Amino acid sequence: MDKTFSGLSQHLFGAADNRKWFQPLPGEQIAMRVETHHTGGLFSLTEIIVSPFSGPPLHIHHDADEVLYVLEGIVDFVCDGENFRTGPGGFAAIPRGKPHAFRNFEETPARMVVLLSPGGFEQFMPAMNGRPTSEIPEMAARYGMEIVGPPIAARHGG
C-alpha cells in the first residue's frame, strides 16, 4: 500500500468562527467542514449540534463507517442493540451495515464532529435542507442510508 497517497488535492484550513450552519433535520444543525469533493471521496467531516431531546431515527449506513466524537454535552448511542452514554472526549465508531442512532437526552445542546468513510453521505444534509421530514426515507436511500426504526425512545443507564 502506498503510504504517501492522499485524497486531499490541497490543504484546507477552517477557523472556528467560519462555519455556515444550516438545519436539514428537526433538532440538528450542521456545519460542513471537509466534504467528499475535498478528499477524493475518502472521507467527510461535519460538525453537528444536537438540540435537547433530539436525535435521528435508528438507521444503517450501507456504504460508510461512521465515527462520532463528542465535543460538548452528553450523548446516548445505540448500535446493534448495545447502549452507550458519553460526554466530551467520548466517541462511537460504527461499522457500515450496523443499525445505530444517537440522542441528546439533556436540557442543553450537544456538539459532535462526525467522520464518514468513504465520504458522500454528508451530501444528504444539504439535500434535505428545506424539505419536509416525510422525504427523509427516500432521500436517505439515495445516499446509502436506510431508516430501520424510530429514534431512541428512552435513556438507558450509563
Whether residue 149 has pLDDT greater than 90? yes
Q: How far apart are CA 47 and CA 41, in angstroms?
A: 18
pLDDT band at 89 (very low <50, low <70, confident <90, very high): very high
Q: Classify 43 as helix, strand or coil.
A: coil
What's the DSSP call for residue 116?
Answer: E
Spell out the domains of the chain, with CATH numbers in brackets: 30-147 (2.60.120.10)
Q: How far apart are CA 71 and CA 93, in angstroms?
A: 15
Q: What is the rounded average pLDDT for all residues in the chain?
A: 91
* pLDDT score of 78: 97
